[in-house]
């Protein structure tokens, strides 16, 4: 009955010394993870690399052959440390030069020719053959070449670019998820029966996630599947298991068969 779910995968390459030094705390990983999940794309790997061309090229080439899409963030501004466009051109073995479409976009922001200086024109250097990704906030575009989408590092601009890109992406069957709070039950109390539920429901990915507020742990069990009926069966099994553990009365029957 349920046909094989088409799975679409993606990877994210975060480019920037400032993330690795701790100066800037990345926000784009979580945002892009949320976007992908909402779209029905499996974000399958993330890498953070420094502003070093060979590192960017190597990571990009490793990821773009493996996943349906690669998103990148960072390194497309007007300063010398913005080297992403050159690295992408190198990874694809194509040339790079000022793109007239991109120059036109920058002219909207800098109508005075004196303001559209060498540094700002750097933001119009686009690998040959790439399409542009509009930037409604500050005009300097991102771009897409092959299965790679190159976006800004500034979170609000990255989000605007992703919004522009999202409708053009192929998507898979969405991964559905449901969370159960364990009501104070510790992981150690339900680890073994939860493993049995996982084994009995191989079509569902079950995770247990503790958080610690400094005083006590609080645990969530998260179930994920692309098939709603399969997900519900597993959810009911976990709920019954938790109920049995919380009220260990042998007379209480399990909620479902």
Positions in 204-243 near a copy of itself (CB under 8 A)? 205-212, 214, 217, 222, 224
Do the Cβ atoms of 225 and 176 come closer than 8 Å? Answer: yes
- The interface with a copy of itself within residues 66-85 (CB under 8 A) comprises 77-81
β-pair type (205-212, 217-225): antiparallel
User: Quick one: which of 110, 180, 185, 244 contacts a copy of itself (CB under 8 A)?
Assistant: 110
Beta strands in the chain (DSSP E): 9-15, 42-49, 69-73, 96-98, 125-127, 131-133, 142-145, 148-151, 176-181, 205-212, 217-225
Query: Among candidates 141, 139, 162, 179, which has minimal Cα distance to 41?
Result: 162
Q: Which stretch binds a copy of itself (CB under 8 A): 19-27, 90-98, 226-234, 240-248?
A: 19-27
Number of residues that bind a copy of itself (CB under 8 A): 72
Q: Does 120 bind a copy of itself (CB under 8 A)?
A: yes
Give 183 or 210: the residue with its C-beta nearer to a copy of itself. Answer: 210
Question: Which residue among 1, 95, 108, 118 contacts a copy of itself (CB under 8 A)?
Answer: 118
Minimum distance from residue 226 beta carbon to a copy of itself (Å):
13
8 Å CB contact between 235 and 223: yes
Token pair 């509009």: residue: 134
C-alpha to C-alpha distance for 91 and 87, rounded to whole angstroms: 6
* Binding residues among 88-107 for a copy of itself as defined by CB under 8 A: none
In the complex, least distance from residue 177 CB atom to a copy of itself, rounded to whole angstroms: 7
> Among residues 36, 169, 238, 241, which is the contact residue for a copy of itself, using CB under 8 A?
36
């Amino acid at each position: 009955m349920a046909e094989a779910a088409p799975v679409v995968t993606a990877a994210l390459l975060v480019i920037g010394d400032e993330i690795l030094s701790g100066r800037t705390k990345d926000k784009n990983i979580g945002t892009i993870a949320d976007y992908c999940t909402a779209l029905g794309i499996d974000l399958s790997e993330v890498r953070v690399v420094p502003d070093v061309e060979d590192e960017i090229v190597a990571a990009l080439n490793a990821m773009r052959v493996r996943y349906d899409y690669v998103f990148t963030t960072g390194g497309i501004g007007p300063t010398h440390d913005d080297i992403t466009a050159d690295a992408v051109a190198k990874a694809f073995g194509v040339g790079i030069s000022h793109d007239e479409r991109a120059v036109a976009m920058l002219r909207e922001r800098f109508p005075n020719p004196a303001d559209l200086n060498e540094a700002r024109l750097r933001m119009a250097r686009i690998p040959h053959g790439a399409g542009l990704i509009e930037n409604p906030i500050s005009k300097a575009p991102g771009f897409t070449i092959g299965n790679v989408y190159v976006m800004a590092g500034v979170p609000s601009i990255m989000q605007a670019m992703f919004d522009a890109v999202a409708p053009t992406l192929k998507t898979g069957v969405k991964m559905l998820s449901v969370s159960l709070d364990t009501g104070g039950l510790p992981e150690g109390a339900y680890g073994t029966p939860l493993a049995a539920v996982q084994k009995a429901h191989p079509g569902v990915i079950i995770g247990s996630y503790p958080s610690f507020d400094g005083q006590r742990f609080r645990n969530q069990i998260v179930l994920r599947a692309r098939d709603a009926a399969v997900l519900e069966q597993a959810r009911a099994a976990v709920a019954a298991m938790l109920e049995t553990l919380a009220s260990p009365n042998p007379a209480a029957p399990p909620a479902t068969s």
